[in-house]
Amino acid sequence: MKTTLPVLLRGSQEFLTVEYQANTSAAESGFDVLDVPFPKEKCIGYPTMHAYFENMKLSGYKRYCGFLQIVKREEVKYGKTSQVLFYDAPGEYFYQIGNPFCAYGFPASFYDAPCCNLGDCDLLTWKAYTYLVDLPSRMNGDRLQFLAGFSWGYREDASGPLGLLDFEILSEQDWKEHMKFLSTLCPDLPK
């Protein structure tokens, strides 16, 4: 599935492209170069998501933006269901310094291909809430602002992936609800 989301950034109407599909190749998704604790082909059937700007009209600093991603793990273990929310930053270092951004740039693009996260539970629903944001800077009064959002994910059990979750467009209200959670983990994050 390939979709475009309208984005208004610094007065310019831009379009964020999102590609979301089941992973069909460890080499195509980059798992062939990752050091993972499972056979690399196990990624097949799990989702891949790539969000990027194909033809941005803005130039220079005006292109600056970033991505935040919050993940909800709904786990079923011994017949009991529990939920865990966390922000999805690249590596332990970003957690240590309180940086919740998973990508940023001129413009930002973001790729994610989660898999084999079942752990010790019987059933996992892994749902990502991905937000494109205008990063705090001199251009916007040092504010963090919602630009676009979408959710996606998958379900798995001990046999592997059970299917992808539906792709859904998120609203600014969804963003505000997730910001309440994120603000508790990253209190220095501008509002």
Say what the pLDDT of residue 95 is.
59
Phi-psi region of 153 (alpha: psi -120 to 50; beta: other; left: phi over 0): left
Is the distance from CB of 133 to CB of 68 less than 8 angstroms?
Answer: yes
Give 168-188 pLDDT, tens digit per residue: 999 999 999 999 988 888 887
Say what the pLDDT of residue 91 is.
63
The residue to which tokens 């069909």 are assigned:
24
Residue 68 three-state SS: strand
Give the DSSP H or E segment for 131. strand 123-134
- From first to last of its 191 residues, the chain has per-residue pLDDT tens of 999 999 999 999 999 999 999 999 999 999 999 999 999 999 999 999 999 999 999 999 999 999 999 999 999 999 999 999 888 877 665 556 667 899 999 999 999 999 999 999 999 999 999 999 999 989 988 899 999 999 999 999 999 999 999 999 999 999 999 999 888 888 878 87
Give 50-67 pLDDT, tens digit per residue: 999 999 999 999 999 999
Give Dmax (Cα) for the chain: 53
CA distance 137 to 88: 22
